[in-house]
Structure 1
């Protein structure tokens, strides 16, 4: 059996393989609620053989959505609506995961097929918040969060995790990457605070650590907790790999089970050196520096490439995004290429090529 299709166990959860679905926003919710699109999208990825299906960034507050059409889990009725999706994902042999998020100063934006601009209050948007009144590019400056508001958001993350647990999700991931709120606190390019939530690494990471502690407290002991981190801002003076490693080392003592390593997103127009597997070295650095398991993501498209990342011990799992949109059954294709046997849904057996 290839490394890619070997199982992985974290706490009391075993993933059938190491082909994992990266969280991908669908911008198709209404008032944060999922619909049939989400069932078909996430259910199809589970049916296609992936080991973990990580749901898109799901806002912990109404104002934490990236766009007015983004997913949410800030009240119980939303959790009830997500339950059938988590149940179906599990019925297909995959582990359902949910990414808990707040967009901060990058909230209140258009759906990507409409544009990439800010949605004003007059257009149905809302005032954004952040660690400091530092705008994202030429967007309006966010309102600086007070200490009491920060602590309120910590509770919002915990409440969202409690709802997700009740809806049947097995993995929770805290989104601390791609320039969203928790990442904004981490980076000195967005965080100019002089109180306990700014300054050095300990101060800038305080909010994230408090969120981790609050979520871990309500998340079942036998279920994994992930954190997604951007390893670098790709910008001078910004968040970097060394700080990512140091923070990951600290998170290991706060009950985090895996770091989902990505990069960028904090500043518009950053020059990113993109090539196949371009973020894998970041994953390796975090894995070796923190002793935590990690997942790698970013232009991982070929079965042999994905397997070699694991064989080389650069990561413990790989996250795929666009490649799974192009082919939700990529795990079946990859298994065939690597000489592995994986189960297909019985309804599809008639199409299975005999080895």
Structure 2
């Protein structure tokens, strides 16, 4: 395999949204569950350091849970609260910065996506705006307004701690059917108060989270917001069916204080709406004027869900189309997930043209922190 298209655009410096990066390569957040009892250790620090050493411009960590009893989905997902866990993250920041990289934690609450049977050690009920699972099944009581206020402050505290520990930005996880996304989606949000209703009304919780995070970190600290149309139970789901709806959805989030939007798609090359080749990140950039991160099977010859459904790995593939779209200014940054998970030197190999050395993604890659 060879890459005929120059990758120069991918390795140009980036400045925007409060961030200055050496290049456009971002490590996508990927849950690894290698933090026993929520505490990241030296192996986690080494895992992120290796990506920084090999030229990743910005590392976004795996999802880290805020201080709420129902936030995690399993015992080994890292916490972003508590003295021991935060001390572990302090070491991660040190290692990444020493290697010349930059890093942002992704702060997260799983909401009703958390299942009791997969986390039997905890007897805490999962929570959500209307207490509904992603299939619309009742699993708990709807959140009270007081509980919502406490959750908002949980996000704000984690963001404040991120800044205090020396992180370079913070990403709020608002995608993939987790808590914030459950407020967005009409299937899981049946509220009739100010946190429900139409598409704009359903952004209220996210807006309050973003505003509280902004108040906690100050005006200059970069806030990244990740969102998706698709849900794990419905890959064809759409929060916004048209560009006009997407603009109405994004406007309150942008105004609340988002600096950079991370638009999660399963395949970066697919257009988001008819009659335009723009993907979700492209539309988001066009509608908000804010920098955007694209993501979705970058560097693989098939998208991530099919790799697991087939039981096969994913071969590495060229990135000519990706670079062309980056050069056109469709988006600003490129998040790489599975390809970078299995090969910490992916960015350096792409930069140096050593594509024959790229390691293919396999399911076995998930068993270790390479």
Query: TM range, normalised to the smaller chain?
Result: 0.7 to 0.9
Q: In the alignment, what sits opposite 1:19?
A: 25
1:232/1:240 contact within 8 Å kept: no
Counterpart Cα distance in 1 of 2:34 and 2:212: 29
Work out which of the residue numbers 36, 41, 62 in structure 2 matches 1:35.
41
> In the alignment, what sits opposite 2:306?
none
Closer, same or farther in 2 for the Cα pair 1:137/1:6, shift >3 Å?
Answer: same
Measured in 1, the distance between the counterparts of 2:46 and 2:103 equals 14
Partner SS state of residue 36, structure 2: coil
**Cα shift readout 1:297-320 (whole Å, capped 9, x = no counterpart):** 001113434322211222101000
2:327 is aligned with 1:311:
yes
- Identify the residue that residue 266 of structure 1 maps to in structure 2: none
Correspondence for 2:184: 186
Instruction: Tell me if 1:248 matches 2:250.
Output: yes
Q: Secondary structure at the match of 2:225?
A: strand
Identify which range, 80-89 or 60-69, moves more after superposition: 60-69
The farther-off stretch of 230-239 and 197-206 is 230-239
Pairing partner for 1:333 from 331, 349, 357: 349
1:245-278 deviation digits (Å, cap 9, x = unpaired)? 3232332222211110014xxxxxxxxxx65633
Contact 1:176 1:182 in 2 (8 A): yes
Shift of residue 22 of structure 1?
A: 0.3
How many Å separate the matches in 1 of 2:58 and 2:40? 19
Runs of 4+ in 1 over 4 A off after TM superposition: 137-140, 232-238
Q: Could you tell me how far 1:108 is from its partner in structure 2?
A: 4.3
Instruction: Describe the superposition over 1:18-42 as per-residue Cα deviations: whole angstroms up to 9, x where unpaired.
Output: 0100001111222221112211211
Matches for 1:151-166 after TM superposition, within 5 Å: 151-166=149-164
- Quick one: which of 214, 227, 230 aligns to 2:228? 230
TM-score by length of 1: 0.83
Greater Cα offset, 300-309 or 319-328? 300-309
1:303–1:338 Cα contact (<8 Å) kept: no
The CA deviation at 1:189 is 0.9
What TM-score, normalized to structure 2?
Answer: 0.80
CA distance in 2, matches of 1:221, 1:44: 31
Cα RMSD of the aligned pairs, angstroms, is 2.4
Give the Cα separation in 1 of the matches to 2:164 and 2:281: 31
Residue 75 of structure 1 is matched in structure 2 by 82
- Equivalents in 2 of 1:237, 1:49: separation in Å? 35
User: What is the CA deviation profile of residues 15-68 of structure 1, one whole-angstrom value per residue up to 9, with x for unaligned ones?
Assistant: 100010000111122222111221121111111110001011110024211222
Aligned match of 2:358: none
User: What is the CA distance between 1:78 and its match in structure 2?
Assistant: 2.0
3-state DSSP of counterpart to 1:130: coil
Alpha-carbon contact 1:2-1:338 (below 8 Å) kept: no
Tell me how far apart the structure 2 counterparts of residues 173 and 254 of structure 1 sit (CA, whole Å). Answer: 14
Aligned equivalent of 2:118: 119
1:232 positional shift: 4.2
| 1:86 paired residue among 79, 83, 93 | 93
Do residues 99 (structure 1) and 109 (structure 2) align? no
Of residues 228-237 and 306-315 in structure 1, the stretch that sits farther from structure 2 once superposed is 228-237
Q: What is the deviation of 1:76? A: 3.6
1:45 has 2:43 as partner: no
In structure 1, distance between residues paired with 2:236 and 2:171: 28
- Which of 291, 294, 299 matches 2:292? 294
Gaps of 5+ in 1: 110-117, 264-273, 340-355
Question: Structure 2 vs 1, CA of residues 220 and 89 (structure 1 numbering), >3 Å: closer, same or farther?
Answer: farther
Q: Distance in 2 between matches of 1:64 and 1:250?
A: 25
Q: 1:39 to 1:187 in 2, by over 3 A?
A: same
Please give the alpha-carbon distance, in whole angstroms, between the structure 1 residues aligned to 2:151 and 2:351: 42
The equivalent of 2:209 in structure 1 is 211
Aligned residues: 320
Q: 1:108 to 1:214 in 2, by over 3 A?
A: same
Per-residue deviation, 1:223: 2.4
| CA distance 1:261–1:236, shift in 2 (3 Å) | closer
Gaps of at least 5 residues in structure 2 are 1-6, 272-277, 300-317, 356-370
Provide the residue aligned with 2:219 in structure 1.
221
CA distance in structure 2 between the aligned counterparts of 1:217 and 1:14, rounded to whole angstroms: 22
- Distance (Å, rounded) in 2 between the aligned partners of 1:241 and 1:138: 20
